[in-house]
Amino acid sequence: MTLTSSTTALGGSSQQVQKRMTGADALMDALRRNGVEIIFGYPGGAILPIYDAVYKAEQQGWLKHILVRHEQGGAHAADGYARATGRVGVCFGTSGPGATNLVTGIATAQMDSVPMVVITGQVPRPCIGTDAFQETDIFGITLPIVKHSWVVRDPGDLASVVAQAFFIAASGRPGPVLIDIPKDVGQEEFDYQPVEPGSVVPAGFHRFPAPELSSIEAALDLIDDAQRPLLYVGGGVISAGAHESLKGFAERHQIPVTTTLMGKGAFDERHPLALGMLGMHGTAYANFAVTECDLLIAVGARFDDRVTGKLDTFAPRARVIHFEIDPAEVAKNRRPDVAVLGDVGVSLVKLFDLSKQKSVELRTSAWLTRIESWKNLYPLMTPPEEGPIYPQEVLLAIRDLAPEAYITTDVGQHQMWAAQYLRNGPRQWISSAGLGTMGFGMPAAIGVQVALPDEQVVCIAGDSSILMNIQELGTLIEYNIPAKIVIVNNHWQGMVRQWQQSFYEDRYSATDMLPGMPDFVALAKAFRVGGVLITERKDLRSSLKQALATPGPMLIDVHVRRDENCYPMVPPGKSNAQMVGLSNHPELSGVSL
């Protein structure tokens, strides 16, 4: 973290003739050189010089600025943009409350390893530290939740800082970086000299080494000897674009694959080897498999508590291989027998190539038969066609009607049902996993749709989560962003209610949303966004189909049965095999099947 830019040249800065300009104009030129075409943001006093430069950039035609209605919406939109494209997302906010409103979005990106550059305005340099109007130490506030950050005190540093910021955000394990720019730095004129992308990095930055061949050979030896191997795949495979190598290796060795919430899309869930998601609300067969496997091959995953359940019972019979780019994640929660450090994409390619150099003696036939029996015994629930609409029906309908859509979600029961029932390709599942940020879904959908205007984008929201950033309906309509928002509406804070029912003896404290529930369709129409209400099963598929096909943004409010719980569920402190909600499985039995 730096208050001024201290750099180490790699390839040298551009040798173009210096040109006199303001810091704000220099910032915009540096962003253009780093490939920025879209910025999500909200203006304010301290960042006004930069927004004046934004105006000129838009007039020149190379930049599109998306005005969000709240800075948190801007951070989530930049996050969605980055997850869908693999490019660095960019958002702006002013000083003080504008900057602090970005904090939740920054933390969301940090937890889920999303590349993002956040630029904040700051009070003028002489005012820093005086408690000036709208002064907040955003540099200090965000230290634990960024990869790197700067307060730029010299406009001459801007070009170098921006080049470093994009390099750091996208390198290694991706993540957010912050650039805080005092107002007078944006106003000051100086002799600007461009810095080309990738030509400078901060002093002390270390490039990740290539994975060691000896580690890959040791991993392959364990895989060849295993009879019950399991691939446990996280978001690192998505970030690395390693899904093809993963698929090829899994098929060659006939190894079943389970994914985390972040890893959805890394492996085709329609594939015979796919087990879907594991963990607290994972499929029963994925959780049984991880409990019974003799080799766990973790690829770009971090052994999160929502995956492992009671840690000392997670994969208790298994040796562990961990493919990981971040050394801090290795042995943090589970010590591996073999660790392969380096870019997961490079590691999987080398593993697959090494595998193809020798014959494979398949040992997993009995293991796959056992897993298939679990799939038959404990499938995900097929909702009955009686009474109020089941929330699972809504997701099944969307799966059929929008099979190729990019999906964003808010956080709660609807998120878990979406993870269980939807099938997504790489980068088509966009959900706040690590931080669990309510209000993420709609602004993230804005970012995805702006990035990919020709793709179908559907946000799966809850009636509580959607209210966290409902103001972004204004952004949808201003730019005619055709994302579709589907509210799975049970009039509760559904996941919290489920926990209160399960663990707090039905004491429903502050979770009933019905008394203050708005008419979402009327609210959408107040923003001039199209809306449709669905309350009857007979209308579900036809109304959804029509709404999804309607041009422009749409809000679809689907009223579902109020008290439906999300199962299977691993209770806190229990092993993954001790799931509740399985009709044929004794609750908390812990038996080995």
Q: Give me the catalytic one of 28, 40, 71, 288.
A: 71
Q: Give me the catalytic one of 18, 37, 133, 189.
A: 133
Type of residue found at 540 = L
Q: Give me the catalytic one of 28, 40, 116, 183.
A: 183
Exposure string over 565-580, b if 16+ CB within 10 A, otherwise e: bbbbbbbeebbbbbbe
C-alpha–C-alpha distance, residues 265 and 495, integer Å: 24
Q: Give me the catalytic one of 495, 513, 554, 579.
A: 495
Q: Where are the alpha helices (DSSP H) in 452-493?
A: 473-478
Q: Which residues have a Cβ under 8 Å from the Cβ of 456 and sit 6 or more positions away?
A: 402, 404, 405, 406, 484, 548
| Of residues 27, 28, 35, the one with CA closest to residue 81 | 35
| Of residues 98, 49, 48, the one with CA closest to residue 69 | 98
Residue 71 is among the residues annotated as catalytic for this protein = yes
Hey, how many other C-beta atoms are within 10 angstroms of the C-beta on 542?
11
Residue 428 is among the residues annotated as catalytic for this protein = no
Hey, how many other C-beta atoms are within 10 angstroms of the C-beta on 551?
8
Q: Confirm if 323 and 214 have CB atoms less than 8 A apart.
A: no
Residue 134 is among the residues annotated as catalytic for this protein = yes
Hey, how many other C-beta atoms are within 10 angstroms of the C-beta on 217?
13
Token reading at 385: 């066609």
Dmax of the chain from CA atoms? 75
Token reading at 213: 């061949």
Residue 247 is among the residues annotated as catalytic for this protein = no
End-to-end CA separation in angstroms for the chain:
51
Q: Which residues have a Cβ under 8 Å from the Cβ of 559 and sit 6 or more positions away?
A: 388, 389, 489, 490, 491, 533, 534, 535
Residue 500 is among the residues annotated as catalytic for this protein = no
Type of residue found at 574 = K
Q: Give me the catalytic one of 64, 134, 208, 381.
A: 134
Q: Among all residues, which ones are annotated catalytic? A: 71, 133-134, 183, 495
